């Protein structure tokens, strides 16, 4: 399995430009990679644990990364504006980074087989992937994530 997150560029819903993974702000970062709007509930299923980990460990942060095919870039203002309107919390807007990129290349680089499930992964700003899974929160996966974060601290 791939152990390095590729370099990609995007903007947060608070309009901050990012060059990932190097602009990730924490020692370890939970990246919740999503491909379809219907996956929002799966992303949100990880939020309680992410909040607990952020409260317990300095140096832990979480981001949502909607991955949108590059062809939609001309509509980014409209798409991001719609997402921004649905997220009143400034911290959540800042932690939601939309990527208008070559989705197939990105998925191949991370060995993600399809867009049917979200892919949560724990990543350092260096790009090192420490842990990953697929799909909505499950207790066993949550325990693995916690152990990975504790292993860093």
CA distance 153 to 141: 19
Residue 75: HSE in the Cβ half-sphere, 13 Å Cα cutoff:
8
At residue 3, the pLDDT reads 87
At residue 19, the pLDDT reads 97
- Taking residues 6-27, report their average pLDDT: 96
At residue 43, the pLDDT reads 96
| pLDDT band (50, 70, 90) for residue 2 | low
At residue 64, the pLDDT reads 97
Strands 60-69 and 129-132: unpaired
- Taking residues 53-70, report their average pLDDT: 96
- Please give the model's pTM, rounded to 2 decimal places: 0.94
Q: What is the pLDDT of residues 64-116, one digit of tens each?
A: 999 999 999 999 999 999 998 888 889 999 999 999 999 999 999 999 999 99
- Size of the chain in residues: 153
Q: Sketch the domain layout of the chain as residue ranges.
A: 8-152
Is the pLDDT at 143 greater than 90, yes or no? Answer: yes
Is the pLDDT at 30 greater than 80, yes or no? Answer: yes
| pLDDT band (50, 70, 90) for residue 1 | low
At residue 61, the pLDDT reads 97
At residue 86, the pLDDT reads 85
**What fold is seen in the domain 8-152?**
Glutaredoxin (3.40.30)
Is the pLDDT at 57 greater than 60, yes or no? Answer: yes
């Amino acid at each position: 399995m791939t152990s390095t997150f590729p370099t990609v560029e995007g903007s947060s819903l608070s309009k901050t430009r990012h060059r990932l993974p190097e602009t990730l702000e924490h020692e370890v970062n939970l990246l919740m990679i999503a491909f379809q709007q219907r996956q929002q509930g799966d992303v949100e299923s990880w939020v309680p644990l992410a909040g607990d980990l952020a409260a317990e460990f300095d140096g832990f942060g979480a981001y949502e990364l909607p991955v949108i095919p590059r062809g939609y870039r001309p509509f980014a203002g409209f798409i991001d504006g719609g997402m921004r309107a649905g997220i009143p919390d400034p911290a959540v807007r800042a932690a939601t980074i939309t990527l208008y990129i070559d989705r197939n290349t990105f998925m191949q680089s991370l060995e993600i087989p399809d867009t049917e499930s979200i892919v949560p992964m724990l990543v350092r700003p260096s790009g090192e992937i420490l842990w990953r899974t697929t799909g909505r929160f499950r207790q066993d996966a949550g325990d693995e994530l916690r152990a990975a974060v504790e292993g860093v601290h």
